[in-house]
A and B are shown apart, each in its own frame.
Chain A
Amino acid sequence: MNLKSKFTPQSWPEHPELSTAEGKNKVVGFWIFLGGETVLFATLFATFLALKNKGPSGMEFTTQNLFELPLAFIMTMLLLTSSLTSVYAMYHMKNYNFKGMQAWLAITVLLGLGFLGLEIYEFTHYVHEGFTFSQSAFGSSFYTLVGTHGLHVVIGLAWIVLLMVRNAGRGLNLYNAPKYFIASLYWHFIDVVWVFIFTVVYLMGVIK
C-alpha cells in the first residue's frame, strides 16, 4: 500500500486526509497557518476601524454614502453558497467519488468567480466616483482590507483549479486527498473572513 495506490470506495479510509503522516502534518500545519491568518486579518480590520471615514479635510466619502447593501448581499450569498458546494466536494472526496468532487469544486470555482467579478465591478465603480486607494486614509484601509480578502479569493481559486487540472488524469489517492482537503479549508476560511467584512465594513458602515 503506498501513496499512489488505487482504492475502491470500500477500501478508501474514512479520513483519507489524515491517513498518512504527510496528511496529518498538512492539516495541522494549515490550521496553524489559519491561526496566523486570523491575526493578519485582525490587523487589517483594526486599521480599517481606526481609519474609517478619515481623510483630507472636506472629504465627501463616508461609509454611509458609498456602500450599497444589495451588492454586498449578493456577494455574501455567492460566497456562502460556494462554501456549501465545497462541503459537498469534500463529502464526495470521502466517498471516493472523484468525478463528483471535481464537479462540485467546479461549481465552487464558478461561484467564486462570480464573487470576484462583483468585487471588481464594485471597486471600479468606487474609483469612477473618485474614491481611490490614494485618495484618503479611508480609501487606503478599505481597499487593503477588502482587497486582501479578494487576493485570497484569487489564490483560493487558482489553487483549486490547479488541483483539479493536475489530478484530472490521476484520480484520487492518499497523496492528493490532503491537498484537496486543505484547499477546501482555505476556501471556508475566506468565507469566515467575508462574514466579518460584510458585518463590520458594509453593515456597520451603513448604520446611521
Chain B
Amino acid sequence: MSHDVHVEARSEEEYKYNRRKASQAMRNQVTVFAIMIFLTFVAFATVQAGFSAFLVVPLILLFAGVQVALQLYYFMHLSEKGTGIMQFFMYSGMIVAFTMILAFVTIIWW
C-alpha cells in the first residue's frame, strides 16, 4: 500500500547530477529574488516620483502580479510536474477572490 516508504537508491553519478541540478536551480532562485527586489524598488520609486495615478496604479498592480507569480512558481515550486491539482485550487481561489474584490469596489457605495 502507498503507506510504505519508497526510496530508490541513487548511483553516485545520478547523485552528483542531481546535486548539480539543484545548485543550478538555487542560482535561478537567487536571480528570481533579484528580479523581485528590483520590481519592488521600481514600484516604490514610481510612487515616490509622483507620476499620474492612471499610470502608477496599473503598473504597480502588474508588478505585484509578476512578483506573486514568481513566488508561486519558483519559490513555492509550482512550476514542477505534478502540481496540476494545486494550481487548479489556487486559480479557483483567485477567481473567487477577484470576483469578490471587483464586487466590493464597484457595487458597494453610499
Contacts and interface: CB of A to CB of B under 8 A. Distances in A.
Interface of A: 1-3, 5, 7, 9-11, 13-14, 18-22, 28, 31-32, 34-39, 41-43, 45-47, 49-50, 69, 73, 76-77, 80, 83-84, 87-88, 91, 94-95, 174, 185, 188-189, 191-192, 195-196, 198-200, 203-204, 206-208
Interface in B25-79: 25-26, 29-30, 33, 36-37, 40, 43-44, 47-48, 50, 53, 56-57, 60-61, 63-64, 67-68, 71-72, 75-76
Contacts, number: 149
A208 B50 contact: yes
Given A80-B37, A94-B22, A95-B22, A42 B7 contact: no
A203 B55 CA distance: 13
Interface string B76-106: 1000001101100110111011101101110
A185 to B, nearest CB: 6
SS class of chain B's interface: helix, strand, loop or mixed? helix
A95 B30 contact: no
